[in-house]
Amino acid sequence: MTENTEYTKKDFVSDQEVKWCPGCGDYAILSAIQSAMTKIGRKREDVVCVSGIGCSSRFPYYLNTYGYHTIHGRATAVASGVKTANPDLSVWVMTGDGDSLSIGGNHLIHVLRRNIDMNIVLFNNRVYGLTKGQYSPTSLRGQVTKSTPYGSLDRPFSPAKLAFGASATFIARTTDTNTKQIEAIMLEAEEHRGTSFIEVYQNCVIFNDGCHSEYSDKKSREDHSIILEQGKPMIYGSEVKKGIILDKLTLRVVELGDIYTEADCLIHDKTNETLASLLVAMDANASMPKLYGVIFAVQDVIYNDQVATQISEVKAQKGEGDFNKLLYSGETWEVKK
C-alpha cells in the first residue's frame, strides 16, 4: 500500500448481495476479514481471493478484491498457480471442511508441504452446508446427518493435526464468535512468510446448529477453551483455576491451588515443534480444552521464492528461450495426409 492509500472497511465490501442463511457464522468471518484487509498494508488490486465450492466459497463475490470462484476442492491448486506466477500478490484461499478435506485433500496437503506464500482460511462447521446437510470429514463420530441417518462411523479429521503432519509452517484456530481474534490472526497470517493455515470454527444454523457451542458460547467457552498467547502460561477457566501441564509426555488438565500453581503450567511457544505436535493432538481428547490463537509458526524455505530464483538462474545460463524451438525439439514428427 502506498503512503497515500488509506482504506475503510467499506472499500472491501462489494456490490453483491450477501446470500447466506440468517444467523450464519460466515457473516462474522466476512466482516472481520474485511476489517483486516484495511490493515494488511496492501493495495486492493494486489489482493486475490480464491475459493472452491461450498457456502464459504461465495467469499470472492463479497470481498471487493480480485477473485476466482473455482471448482470443488481445487482452490489451493489455482491459488498456487496465482502466487507462483505473480509472487507480489497477497493470495487468500477461502474453503470449507468438505471442500478442502475431502475432494480437495490432496491439493491441501501439497500446498502446505510446498510452503507457498498464501493464506488458507478453512471454515469448519462439521457438515456439508451448501448441498443440504451431508456429513463431512470433520463430522463427529455418531453425528446424524442426511447421509448418515444412523450416525457417522468415520473417525473425524483434525484440520490442525493434518496441517501439522503436512509440514505447515503456520497453524492457527479461531471461532466465528470472536471477530477481534479473527482479525488479529488474519493480520499475523499475512505477515507470515509461507503458507498460513487458519481453521475457523463456524456455526451452520440450519444443518448443524450449535456444533461448536461448548467452545464458542459466552456461558461455556471460558471453561472449555484456551486462548494461546506467546510466552504466557496455558491457564483457563471462568475463574482461571485450570491449567495444562506436561506429565510424562502427555498433556493433562490440572486444578490450580495447593498442589499445582500457574508456575507449573506449560508456557506457550509457537516456535516449538515438539510442543505443537502435542497441542494439535489434543483434538482427539474430548476432555481437553480447545485451543484458540496461533498454535505453531516457524520460518522455512518458500516454494514460490525458489521457483522465481530457479527461473532467473536458468535464464541467465540459457537466455530467454524460444517457445517454438522448445515445441519442435526432441522427439517430434509430422503427420502428412
* 80-136 pLDDT per residue, tens: 999 999 999 999 999 999 999 999 999 999 999 999 999 999 999 999 999 999 999
Statement: residue 3 has pLDDT above 60: no
* 74, 105 contact by CB (below 8 A): no
Locate 284 and state its grid cell: 482427539
Q: Is the pLDDT of residue 144 over 90?
A: yes
**38 with 11: CB under 8 angstroms?**
yes
d(CA 105, CA 107): 6
Whether 191 has a pLDDT exceeding 60, the answer reads yes
Residue 55 contacts residue 20 (beta carbons within 8 Å): yes
Is the predicted pLDDT of residue 12 greater than 70, yes or no? yes
Report the alpha-carbon angle 117-229-24, nearest 5: 70
Beta bridge partners of residue 172, listed in sequence order = 198, 294
Cβ neighbours around 115 below 10 Å, total: 23
Element (H, E) at 303: helix 303-318
Task: Report the DSSP pairing between strands 235-236 and 242-247.
Answer: antiparallel
pTM assigned to the model: 0.94
Q: How much is the pLDDT for 321? A: 86
pLDDT digits (tens, 9 = 90+) for 148-164: 999 999 999 999 999 99
* Domain spans, the chain: 9-230+269-304, 233-267
CB 59 within 8 A of CB 210: no
Q: What is the mean pLDDT of residues 134-155?
A: 96
pLDDT at 268: 98
Report which of 141, 112, 137 is spatially closest to residue 125, judged by C-alpha positions: 137
**Banded pLDDT at 325 (limits 50, 70, 90):** confident
Q: Enter the C-alpha cell of residue 174.
A: 479461531
Q: How far apart are CA 90 and CA 71, in angstroms?
A: 21
Q: Which CATH superfamily is domain 9-230+269-304 in?
A: Thiamin diphosphate (ThDP)-binding fold, Pyr/PP domains (3.40.50.970)
CB 84 within 8 A of CB 304: yes
3-state helix, strand, coil split of the chain in percent (to 5) is: 35, 20, 45
* Residue 43, C-alpha cell as written in the block: 493495495
What does the pLDDT look like over 172-181, one tens digit per residue?
999 999 999 9
